[in-house]
Chain A
Amino acid sequence: GENVEQHPSTLSVQEGDSAVIKCTYSDSASNYFPWYKQELGKGPQLIIDIRSNVGEKKDQRIAVTLNKTAKHFSLHITETQPEDSAVYFCAAMPPSNYQLIWGAGTKLIIKP
């Protein structure tokens, strides 16, 4: 079955710098890759997603890239701000049962 690995587990960056979180997946048939942000005391919230027929997607300071050949996808946050501090989860969805398979999460810390 599908397996998703996420790195790093913790990422600390200076405010204003960029942050990159990477995920790899094992099932080449997976075709949907969302990223969720979880703030303290809240449930995860979708921030961006990408489908397998697209290589890159941007939404203001956030972008996701997908490399289907290498089976990895990444979240890029530019010009980081204090409110970006949170735990970020990647996920992949194989078409077999349309269930999301989750990465272990990355705690992003933005230093002032």
Chain B
Amino acid sequence: KAGVTQTPRYLIKTRGQQVTLSCSPISGHRSVSWYQQTPGQGLQFLFEYFSETQRNKGNFPGRFSGRQFSNSRSEMNVSTLELGDSALYLCASRTGTSGEKETQYFGPGTRLLVL
């Protein structure tokens, strides 16, 4: 089974621009979660999508948004980029139906640099 894939792997943007990141979950997984990871920081939860609906949301400003398509692929968008948005953005998938019994599987991440 193919793992979680994320595109692009690396991205350079300038302040004020917007960016869209993509995540393809493991086949059969309907839940996709997004995380931001900055140097020296842990994993900050952004949001989770399940069956095209946002199921959970972290404490990030409205500039961070996402969506999920009918094939479970998900996109994350950041508008009006700030220098502090430079980070590794990770996507994780799981089936989404068994609650705490489920393992989250992570993709390799998209490294975003904002200049």
**Chain B residues at the A interface, C-beta cutoff of 8 Å:** 4, 33, 41-43, 45, 48, 56, 90, 92, 99-109
**Which residue of A45, A97, A104 is within 8 Å of B41 (Cβ)?**
A104
Which positions in A face B, CB cutoff 8 Å? 6, 31-32, 34, 36, 41-46, 49, 51, 89, 93, 95, 97-100, 102-105
Judged by DSSP, the binding face of B is mixed
Q: When the two chains form their complex, are residues A45 and B42 in contact, meaning their CB atoms are under 8 A apart?
A: no
* Distance of A6 Cα from B40 Cα, bound (Å): 13
Closest approach, in angstroms, between the C-beta of A110 and any C-beta of chain B? 20
- From B43, B104, B109, give the contact of A46 (CB < 8 A): B104
A selection of 19 A-B contacts at a CB cut-off of 8 Å is: A34-B103, A34-B104, A36-B106, A42-B109, A43-B4, A43-B90, A43-B107, A44-B106, A45-B106, A46-B103, A46-B104, A46-B105, A95-B100, A97-B56, A98-B100, A98-B102, A99-B45, A100-B45, A102-B45
